[in-house]
Chain A
């Protein structure tokens, strides 16, 4: 073990001799990937898988918007898709985006790759379990795609009973897919918690961990505490559908609101499984590109954990108009406002970090700034929905659709794209075309706002969500939103194009292209199979930008 020193400035190309062998080229062949236990390779496989899911779910989204372009749903004189198909398309969009893309994207893809590096570890705690959870994801994905080919389901991604226990279509297979994907998520969470507890580098205390790790750790807590409840709920749904167990369907003695309670007991915390990793990425991007120590380190760390805890006591706000008791409604509304506190703490600490920082506007930082704007809009509109009097009006309208897309896409996907650009050089050893990166980010932000800001207006005017037909008066806003989806889609295809193009050129990325201070920037790009040449020993705080003193 040698003493580990933090470099404060970006290493230039050729600072250190580039090792000939790295995790990408050490072994070759299909089985060296399919059977790998290396967290970096598993992370890359997850990344490829989730990107395909994102593409598929995104195509469904574009199809939804295209259908809603006109009230007659006609394109060149022909009806694009009928109402039945429309229901299946938005359901598939939801299921694929939630279960196959957003939930695994940041923790299992980027987190798998980066978190052990940040901890100075050689791997995650249970490498075999890590690979198993990837194959569970693949199994779940194949089940979902099979169900899709067999005719898909029209239940919405929420599978509300008794509709889901009586409608046609392969509902059992689809809920089975969600069940399997849930276990993939549980095993990832379990693995990461054990990793954070036991595999930190010598000298790294809890408050010396990068904030990304705090975010992923909080996410993992929710993954293991909430997902099993979804698992048993889906099992009950399948049993009721196939064997008539009377638990959710009132005709056979069940309680339909009970399903909603069970479902949201998981799915509300699941919202934080999706957003916390996004916040975790932003906590890395902001100090790195402001070249300044993070403001309020402990406040951000605690706010991640407290968001995870608060997420478990607010699920009732999904049932304000579903026949929940009035007392429960008031209590859940009040508790829901608690969410604003840790979220606000984070946003203000990020702004405090940027204040008087030396900000460089590279692509990841542009995404971080877009996140700050979009997430804040998404968060604030959540307060409208948590307030009982306004929620009664806004429930099940496009206002809700816009709100959660601002949080899930404007928040998580924006942060994911920022993180993908930030760690791309580390993962692939190559720099992408910076100019195109900035162009795509600006297009993304404009397209996103065209698509979803519009939907706040639609919802406030009373356009219900999930409807195939709409009144003629809504057409201008629907059409504007659809055009926005084309801009948004183009920006993502452009991103895919220049990122993939960068793979064709020789490895040119320096070990630390952005001047980051956390440990993943102190191994080579791409890292060697065992991550570090020497076991790092941590002697400084994670975001220490003070110059190193040489005795």
Chain B
């Protein structure tokens, strides 16, 4: 048995294990991995698994919406005409575009172009704020009309005795777009965090995992909207 000291500092331990003759060890390298590549792959697997749980979280709401739509088909179709289609369409375009800039941010980080990364991230964050602003317009319009969620609902249809279809539609509308909105807000936080790190020049072709992971998250937020949009604004 050789006697490898176990208590080496993390970086040095990594260098020993990696054994590829790199002179300097990445400061982000964690001691329990053998190579940087293994560490990055692991982080990616973790993020994908997290995204799976996100889909299931929204999945419950989609199933609930579907069942309630089956229960109140007439009210649901009628209620959706009160949503403003151009606002939903605008938000769809904004989010799709922000997904594009996000991809470009990841790509430029990978290709050692940190200043480009910064700019693409800035555009992505601006898109997120535009999305939230349009949502704010939409919500305040609903509130003016009395289409509050659940028990505060005072809009059309509450005169029909025994029918809860409208209130249920708007309850789901606020729950699903609200939960999605929370994800956008969290996304803005994450994007700002990697923006700061990108400005400090922390990312390079050797290490850009955080940009990659936030990108994956941003795409899932976008993808969920791609399903919410037709569900609410386009149903017939």
Q: Which residues of B contact A533 (CB under 8 A)?
A: 1, 3-4, 6
* Least Cβ–Cβ distance between A161 and chain B, in angstroms: 13
A225, B52: Cβ atoms under 8 Å?
A: yes
Near B by CB (< 8 A), chain A positions 518-551 give 528-530, 533-535
Query: Is A186 an interface residue when CB atoms closer than 8 A count as contact?
Result: yes
Distance of A231 Cα from B30 Cα, bound (Å): 32
Query: Is A439 an interface residue when CB atoms closer than 8 A count as contact?
Result: no
Q: Which residues of B contact A255 (CB under 8 A)?
A: 67, 71
Give the interface residue-count category, chain B: 35 or more
Choose the segment among B38-46, B90-98, B139-147 that binds chain A (4+ C-beta atoms closer than 8 Å): B38-46
Mask of A94-132 contacts with B, CB within 8 angstroms, 1/0: 000000000000000000000000000111111101000
A122, B32: Cβ atoms under 8 Å?
A: yes
B150, A186: Cβ atoms under 8 Å?
A: no
Which of B2, B56, B165 has the most chain A CB within a 10 Å cutoff? B56
| A-B contact number at CB 8 A | 124
Query: Is B64 an interface residue when CB atoms closer than 8 A count as contact?
Result: yes
In chain A, what residue has the closest Cβ to B55? Answer: A228
Chain A interface, DSSP helix/strand/loop, else mixed: helix
Query: Is A319 an interface residue when CB atoms closer than 8 A count as contact?
Result: no
Q: Which residues of A contact B171 (CB under 8 A)?
A: 239, 245-247
Given contacts A229-B60, A252-B164, A533-B4, contact A224 B38 (CB under 8 A): no
Query: Is A298 an interface residue when CB atoms closer than 8 A count as contact?
Result: no
Q: Which residues of B contact A507 (CB under 8 A)?
A: none
Distance of A252 Cα from B61 Cα, bound (Å): 18
B32, A534: Cβ atoms under 8 Å?
A: no
A243, B150: Cβ atoms under 8 Å?
A: yes
Q: How many residues of A contact B (CB 8 A)?
A: 46
Mask of A180-219 contacts with B, CB within 8 angstroms, 1/0: 0000001000110110011100000000000000000000
Which of A2, A191, A239, A247 has the most chain B CB within a 10 Å cutoff? A247
Distance of A530 Cα from B9 Cα, bound (Å): 12
Given contacts A194-B49, A224-B49, A255-B71, contact A229 B4 (CB under 8 A): no
Given contacts A243-B150, A534-B4, contact A186 B53 (CB under 8 A): yes
Query: Is B77 an interface residue when CB atoms closer than 8 A count as contact?
Result: no
Q: Which residues of B contact A258 (CB under 8 A)?
A: 64, 67
Distance of A240 Cα from B172 Cα, bound (Å): 12
Query: Is B135 an interface residue when CB atoms closer than 8 A count as contact?
Result: no
Query: Is A232 an interface residue when CB atoms closer than 8 A count as contact?
Result: yes
B46, A253: Cβ atoms under 8 Å?
A: no
Partner of A193, one of B3, B49, B67, B68: B49
Chain B interface, DSSP helix/strand/loop, else mixed: helix
Partner of B149, one of A231, A245, A262: A245
Near B by CB (< 8 A), chain A positions 343-397 give none
Query: Is A233 an interface residue when CB atoms closer than 8 A count as contact?
Result: yes
Partner of A243, one of B52, B151, B164, B168: B151
Interface residues of B (CB under 8 A from A): 1-4, 6, 17, 30-34, 38, 41-43, 45-46, 49-50, 52-54, 56-61, 63-64, 67-68, 71-72, 149-152, 163-165, 167-168, 171, 175
Q: List 29 A-B contacts (CB under 8 A).
A: A2-B1, A2-B2, A121-B32, A122-B31, A126-B46, A186-B53, A190-B46, A190-B49, A190-B50, A191-B46, A199-B42, A228-B56, A232-B57, A232-B60, A236-B61, A236-B175, A245-B171, A246-B150, A246-B164, A252-B151, A253-B165, A253-B167, A254-B164, A255-B67, A255-B71, A262-B64, A533-B1, A533-B6, A535-B34
Interface residues of A (CB under 8 A from B): 2, 121-127, 129, 186, 190-191, 193-194, 197-199, 224-229, 231-233, 236, 239-240, 243-247, 252-255, 258, 262, 528-530, 533-535
